[in-house]
């Protein structure tokens, strides 16, 4: 009686269990040449989309991970884009959404994202210098942008690829995505005027950052056009801890009884402003309106009478990922730039 043959230990259509998958493994399974496989994984424009999908599917199924040391030797690149962010920012909403959307923008590309943090007591230049001098990434993405941001000046001078979430005074020369905070503040203030409000308090971001200046300018211009009062909060910002904002609101409402609206730059500052208003004894939506922009639709769940406008941070992150990749691959092309302009107030 004949015995049935056991299946081969290493089937020809896949890698051996102990074999580390390589480009040759993918080439053998797909029937394509190794250079084609390599170019498909690197998103080469001359490789068809169906071929790229096939190669990426095979790579995922067999657990292929590129040898980054080898990639760097062959191409001079790390295939890494670093998102440089402060540790003190609001990670529950805006920044969390930005991190996720940048990662999404890099999905199914040869690039992957790393986070490079910097601390409130640290020189903001430190992480950028480290990345450039060590060559630990091919490009960086920055936020909390200043009008003449020294990090941007440094990167431009060294022709190191980057993209910014926000605009500098040199925005025509570099990639960026920005939300039009001037238009947001103007539209929000105009809506508050339409609701009969006479004096608006603006809790802006730190004024060293460009978007704070844009927001203040928009609110002041709308207030001037509507002939109402506009006070810019001093001693606190939208980045201040909640307790400080709560105490500030109680104090200023006691000193300036004509303030009947608050314009906030973030979810967390709006929540703190509401807490201060209520501790003072006023009601949001009645004696005092609160208006804020938010990256995640949350505030109306907290208090239904808060007025809001959405900022599309998902779109921002994906755009910045693509802008950074283009800056690496095609430095001679015009930089990718996008300004998100709100067309109407959210309510």
Residue 14 has pLDDT above 70, yes or no: no
State the pLDDT at residue 296.
84
Report, as an integer, the average pLDDT of 307-321. Answer: 94
Instruction: Give the pLDDT band (50/70/90) at residue 12.
Output: very low
Q: What tens digit of pLDDT does each residue of 96-151 get?
A: 889 999 999 998 888 999 999 988 889 999 999 999 999 999 999 999 999 999 99
**35 or 141, higher pLDDT:** 141
Q: What tens digit of pLDDT does each residue of 36-90 get?
A: 887 887 777 888 888 888 888 888 888 777 766 556 545 567 899 999 998 775 5
Residue 346 has pLDDT above 70, yes or no: no
**Least confident span in 4-8, 77-81, 276-280:** 4-8
Instruction: Give the pLDDT band (50/70/90) at residue 10.
Output: very low
State the pLDDT at residue 137.
95
In the chain, what percentage of residues exceed pLDDT 90?
Answer: 66
State the pLDDT at residue 183.
97
Report, as an integer, the average pLDDT of 336-347. Answer: 80
In the chain, what percentage of residues exceed pLDDT 70?
Answer: 88
Please provide the DSSP assignment of 166-182 as one string: S--TTGGGS-EEEE-HH
Report, as an integer, the average pLDDT of 250-261. Answer: 97
Residue 236 has pLDDT above 90, yes or no: yes
Distances (CA, A) of 122 to 128, 168, 275: 12, 21, 31
Q: What is the dihedral of CA 141, 146, 152, 153, to 10 degrees?
A: 180
Distances (CA, A) of 16 to 10, 60, 61, 65: 5, 16, 13, 16
Q: What is the dihedral of CA 297, 300, 305, 307, to 10 degrees?
A: -10
Nearest Cα neighbor of 118 from 149, 143, 154 is 143
Report, as an integer, the average pLDDT of 229-242. Answer: 96
Q: Dihedrals φ, ψ of 179, to 5°?
A: -95, 135
State the pLDDT at residue 27.
87
State the pLDDT at residue 46.
84
Q: What tens digit of pLDDT does each residue of 180-200 get?
A: 999 999 999 999 999 999 999
The residue behind tokens 């001093």 is 234
**DSSP single-letter state for residue 116:** E
Structural domains of the chain sorted by starting position, each given as residue range(s) with its CATH number in brackets: 23-65 (no CATH), 75-179+313-340 (3.40.50.2300), 181-310 (3.40.50.2300)
């Amino acid at each position: 009686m004949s015995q049935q043959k056991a299946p081969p230990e290493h089937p020809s259509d896949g890698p051996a269990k102990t074999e580390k998958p390589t480009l040759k493994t993918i080439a053998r399974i797909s029937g394509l040449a190794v250079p084609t496989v390599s170019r498909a994984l690197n998103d080469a424009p001359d490789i068809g989309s169906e071929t790229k999908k096939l190669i990426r599917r095979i790579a995922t199924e067999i657990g292929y991970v590129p040898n980054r040391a080898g990639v760097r030797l062959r191409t001079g690149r790390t295939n890494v884009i670093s998102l440089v962010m402060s540790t003190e920012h609001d990670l529950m909403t805006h920044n969390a959404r930005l991190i996720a959307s940048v990662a999404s923008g890099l999905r199914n590309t040869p690039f992957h994202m790393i986070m490079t943090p910097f601390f409130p007591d640290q020189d903001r230049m430190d992480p950028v210098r480290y990345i450039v001098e060590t060559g630990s990434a091919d490009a960086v993405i920055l936020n909390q942008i200043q009008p003449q941001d020294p990090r941007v000046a440094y990167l431009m001078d060294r022709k190191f690829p980057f993209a910014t979430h926000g605009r500098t005074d040199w925005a025509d020369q570099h990639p960026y995505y920005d939300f039009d905070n001037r238009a947001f503040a103007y539209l929000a203030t105009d809506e508050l005027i339409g609701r009969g409000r006479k004096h608006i308090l603006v809790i802006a971001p730190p004024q060293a950052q460009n978007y704070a200046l844009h927001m203040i300018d928009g609110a002041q211009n709308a207030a001037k056009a509507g002939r109402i009062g506009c006070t810019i909060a001093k001693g606190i910002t939208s980045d201040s801890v909640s307790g400080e904002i709560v105490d500030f609101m109680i104090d200023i409402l006691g000193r300036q009884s004509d303030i009947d609206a608050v314009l906030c730059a973030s979810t967390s500052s709006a929540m703190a402003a509401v807490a201060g208003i209520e501790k003072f004894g006023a009601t949001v939506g009645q004696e005092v309106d609160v208006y804020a922009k938010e990256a995640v639709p949350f505030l109306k769940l907290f208090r239904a009478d808060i007025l809001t406008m959405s900022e599309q941070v998902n779109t921002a992150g994906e755009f910045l990922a693509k802008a950074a990749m283009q800056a690496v691959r095609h430095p001679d092309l015009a930089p990718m730039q996008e300004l998100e302009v709100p067309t109407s107030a959210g309510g």
